[in-house]
Amino acid sequence: MHRLLLLGCCWLLTAPTVSSIFQRPTGSPAPPRLQYLLEPLHSTVHTQRGATATLPCVLRALPRNYRVKWSKVEPANYRESIIIITNGLYHKNYGPLSPRVRLRHSHRYDASLTIADVALEDEGRYRCQLVNGLDDESVSLTLHLEGVVFPYQPSNGRYKFNYHEAKQACEQQDSRLATYQQLYKAWTEGLDWCNAGWILDGTVHYPIINSREPCGGRLLLPGVRTYGAKDKQKDRFDAFCFTSALQGQVYFVRGHLNFKEAGQACRNHGAVMAKVGQLYSAWKFSRLDRCDGGWLADGSVRYPITTPRQRCGGLPDPGVRSFGFPSKEMRTYGTYCFVG
């Protein structure tokens, strides 16, 4: 499936956010070779939530009266947000990233951007632009978080979220709406889900490994199937959420507990009930493996399986299994707790 690459074409020093949707027409000449900026050896920087990541941008020479501008392309609204501007001696930070970014400046030609305590929303495409009169140059880099995508729907059934509700639901589960690239990667790793869900750019998709009648029919090839862009206010679907490494620990507390008792059991251990994204993260990164269904903070009951076996649901693939949203009065389950 083809995706459009959206790059900024202009900037204003006086405004921290600039609308910039520009695509080079087919058949037009390639951009000129870089004169001052070095092409990065790797255009993608891999990291995890909570880590410190550096996006490289190095000059081979220092032109007169130059500036370097770092910005981020936001997929949800196709805007380019300025992060930092420097003239080599002074710099100014902009926007919500401001407290966590700095220039590495390991030598006078180094304009690399360092992001501390990487957050889920930091993933995406960044641009380092050298502004030097008419000879502007830029390099694009991608910050990629290692993580896991999971489908999410509320307790009252499927297709209940408009876009804004889906975005909020993911954030409440220690995650964010997935990007198309994250959903596609999850599909290549085995995500097979029949219900369509919102992703970050406002489009709706569902990933299919095994073609079947309820999911578009047996004749359609496997893939990430798309409904395209939908009305963010009126149309309703599920959500595809993305989470990364935890800054904490998820563990199981045994018992025959109802939902209220489960919450108290976690508080007795100095913890809180785990969120769905936290359970997926523990399964993905800490290889949490338990056959026991446990309450989570949203009222659902789930359990993580790293090594599939017959007595743990019988399914052949690893994953986080779900019992849905049982009555909160049922005293049947333990609980998964989270401590930061």
On the question of pLDDT at 140 being above 80, the answer is yes
What is the spatial distance between Cα 30 and Cα 331, in angstroms, rounded to a whole number? 66
Q: What is the pLDDT of residue 30?
A: 59
| Over residues 142-146, mean pLDDT | 96
260, β-bridge pairs = none
The per-residue pLDDT for 248 is: 93
Give the mean pLDDT of the chain. Answer: 89
DSSP class of residue 99? G
Residue 20 has pLDDT above 50, yes or no: no
pLDDT of res. 27 = 56
Query: Who has greater pLDDT, 57 or 34?
Result: 57
Lowest mean pLDDT of 18-22, 50-54, 179-183, name the range.
18-22
The band of 339, judged by pLDDT with boundaries at 50, 70 and 90, is very high
pLDDT at position 261 is 97
**Rounded mean pLDDT of 79-85?**
92
pLDDT digits 0-9 by tens, 164-199? 999 999 999 999 999 999 999 999 999 999 999 999
Amino acid letter for position 293? G
Q: What is the mean pLDDT of residues 50-54?
A: 96
Residue 239, beta-bridge partner list: 152, 198
176-177 and 238-244 as β-strands: parallel, antiparallel, unpaired? antiparallel
Query: What is the Cα 196 distance to its own chain's centre?
Result: 18
Angle at the Cα of 324 from the Cα atoms of 320 and 327, rounded to 5 degrees: 140
Give the pLDDT of residue 75.
64
- Residue 2: predicted pLDDT: 37
In the predicted model, what is the mean pLDDT of residues 107-115?
95
- 3-state SS, residue 294: strand
Residue 288 · residue 294 · CB < 8 Å = no
Domains 37-145 and 245-339 share a fold: no
- What confidence score (pLDDT) does residue 180 get? 95
Q: Any idea which residue has 């389950």 for tokens?
A: 333
Domain boundaries of the chain, sorted by first residue: 37-145, 147-243, 245-339
Computed on alpha carbons and rounded to an integer, the radius of gyration of the chain in Å comes to: 23
Instruction: pLDDT band for 34, please (50, 70, 90 cuts).
Output: confident
At residue 31, the pLDDT reads: 58
Least confident of 15-29, 235-249, 268-282, 307-321: 15-29
- Per-residue pLDDT at 309 exceeds 60: yes
Q: What local confidence, expressed as pLDDT, does residue 74 receive?
A: 78
Q: Residue 28: which pLDDT band, with cuts at 50, 70 and 90?
A: low
Give the CATH architecture of domain 37-145.
Sandwich (2.60)
CATH class of 147-243: alpha beta
Confidence check: pLDDT of 141 > 70: yes
How confident is residue 78, by pLDDT bands cut at 50, 70 and 90?
A: low
Task: Kindly tell me if the per-residue pLDDT of 15 is higher than 80.
Answer: no
Classify domain 245-339 at the CATH topology level. Mannose-Binding Protein A; Chain A (3.10.100)
Phi, psi of 72 (to 5 degrees): -125, 135
